[in-house]
């Protein structure tokens, strides 16, 4: 039987949500992400596409890219751009594309054999 549990997420403060929001990492290549995040230090792309903060010649799967993602995530937390939830929650989200909205529920799941 599947078990769904609440968890403590991290969220941005309300006043920077629009600046932080970005398209999903898998719909942008590195070049497009560099352009989209240009001049926006709070863009989530600095975490989801961290290669944008490194030389273009570096392979996107290089260990330095993963280290940069961690560094950027910690920077976002330190600056208060991503804040830990105070209590465990289940999260409801919506995605709209081509006029159709789908809703989902996020939690921590476990499934036993």
Return d(Cα 67, Cα 38) in angstroms, integer. 21
With beta carbons less than 8 A apart as the criterion, state whether 58 and 65 touch. Answer: yes
pLDDT at 35: 96
Return d(Cα 74, Cα 84) in angstroms, integer. 12
Take residue 87 and report the two structure tokens written for it: 């209590």
Total count of domains within the chain: 1
What confidence category does residue 2 fall into, taking pLDDT thresholds of 50, 70 and 90? confident
Residue 49 DSSP code:
S
Res. 112: pLDDT tops 80: no
**Average pLDDT of the residues in 74-86:** 97
Domain range enclosing 17 = 2-111
- The half-sphere exposure of 79 on its side-chain side, counting CA atoms within 13 A, is 12
**b/e string for 71-95 if b means 16 or more Cβ within 10 A?**
ebbeebeeeebbeeeeeeeeeeeee
Res. 37: pLDDT tops 90: yes
pLDDT at 85: 95
pLDDT at 113: 57
Take residue 77 and report the two structure tokens written for it: 């937390």
Return d(Cα 32, Cα 52) in angstroms, integer. 9
What confidence category does residue 58 fall into, taking pLDDT thresholds of 50, 70 and 90? very high
């Amino acid at each position: 039987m599947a078990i769904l549990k609440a968890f403590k997420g991290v969220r941005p403060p309300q006043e920077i949500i629009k600046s932080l929001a970005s398209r999903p990492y898998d719909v942008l290549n590195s070049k497009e992400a560099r352009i989209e995040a240009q001049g926006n230090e709070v863009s989530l792309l600095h975490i989801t596409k961290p290669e944008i903060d490194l030389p273009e010649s570096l392979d996107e799967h290089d260990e330095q890219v993963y280290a940069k993602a961690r560094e950027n995530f910690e920077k976002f937390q330190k600056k208060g751009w991503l804040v830990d939830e105070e209590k465990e929650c289940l999260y409801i989200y919506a995605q709209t594309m081509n006029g159709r909205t789908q809703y989902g529920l996020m939690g921590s799941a476990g499934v036993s054999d």
